[in-house]
Structure 1
Amino acid sequence: MTRCGSCQPNDPCEKHWQATVIALAKLCGWRVYHTLHSIGSEPGFPDLILLRGDEMIACELKRQGRKPSDAQEAWLAAFDRVENVSAFCWQPEHWPLIEAALGKPIIRAEAP
């Protein structure tokens, strides 16, 4: 994981934490959506929407010790009520759970 001045041991900054989750999701075959600038959008919408086949994950990413806002909790609860959709608030300490939720990386054979 890349580090910057805001990163702490075992607590990356939000930018690098998000980039790490996105990289794993893509390796595991998920299509990833992230709203770059949410100005004017409904507050609390999750950081990432992940799609793979008939599965969808809505996830809010937080640094260690940070909690989602009431609006973020409301969005996650709404997504969690939808069939085949899972909603999570992930922190770096949840890495084993994230790996389990995203599944194994897809290994593609090299072309001859």
Structure 2
Amino acid sequence: MTKITLMHNPRCSKSRQALALLEEKGAPVAIRRYLDEPLSDAELRALIERLEGGVERLVRTKESEWQKLAADARDPEQVVQAIMAHPRLMERPIADDGKRAIIGRPPEDILALLD
């Protein structure tokens, strides 16, 4: 089974649920606490390439930081710049197996990586 990296915020209930689901299924998981260890520019761009559902799903557009930026969530460059400046704008949880990345909203969506 391929190791799954979980972009995780332990304060987020959806993120905790996603981790519990992966552990319940016995999936090998590497936890990346992205607020403590933000993704680099290159990591973020690579994640966007693997992300299912479009770049606009990657950003938390209701956060005040995003509102102040008045950026376009469909523009990958603007999303990268916003998340680099404000890592908490990145949606969570995200499960990434190195080939595909899935946002766990709802958390059960990440189980598609186990198929």
TM-score (norm 1): 0.37
| Structure of larger gyration radius | 1
Structure whose residues are more often helix by fraction: 2
TM-score (norm 2): 0.36
Structure whose residues are more often strand by fraction: 1
Bigger RCO of structures 1 and 2 (CA < 8 A, at least 6 apart): 2
